[in-house]
Structure 1
Amino acid sequence: MDWTLEVVVVPVSDVDRAKHFYAEQLGFTVDHDTAFGEDTRVVQLTPPGSACSIVMGRGIAKGEPGSLKGVQLVVSDLEKARAQLLERGVEAGEIVRMNDMDGGSFVFFDDPDGNSWAVQEIKARAAGGERK
């Protein structure tokens, strides 16, 4: 039986500001933005090429804004990805090379609430490589 990860809840303080950051600056697709009365709003966004989405909103998450740490996005070209982040106004750090193995290079950034993200380069994915 497959157990697929479909959604990660991102706790934010300002839903509109976060939606702008993830959609306009990171380039995530807005899947839906739905309000259920005044107290509940759900915004779902999906990174390009990803099977897993993020959800944020009002009345859906009990986490403290900025408490999400260590979620990783994977790209095949880290230099290109970092350049794209910088062009879109995201304060991305320098490329960190932990080792020479494929998968050993990262860029880190935070969203406006301080939720921390890592972008990992795995070149084998571009060549149709399998997940291990």
Structure 2
Amino acid sequence: MEGSLEVVILPVRDVDESKRFYAERLGFTVDLDLGEGDGRFVQLTAPGSGCSVQLKPGLETGGRPALLFVVADVDAARAELAEAGVAVSPVQHFEGADRVDGRGGRWNSFVFFDDPDGYPWTLQERPAE
């Protein structure tokens, strides 16, 4: 499966404190700061890096890091993984916070699976430009 690891999702105790740490102490650029409460996430990228971190509330509820892998064709990537014996979700998209079966709009088509240790992976389709 060809693609690139572009986002590591980190559950954090305090989004603002973590944002300050990554931005002010490590020099990461704040790419996005969206949502509120449990739906909030902040995305930051280190200068020169092709992979970003997203900070999401959740550490206090046992959250685990998640990995986002971007592919050109989510249907083909799903088929390749399924053929290799990986238990993958159907292609899904988000409507608000809900995952719904089927393709969505730009940047809104995903496949989900876990590795053998339970780490969640998300495949996201990059729109053809």
Structure (1 or 2) with the greater strand fraction? 2
Q: What's the TM-score once normalised by structure 1's chain length?
A: 0.42
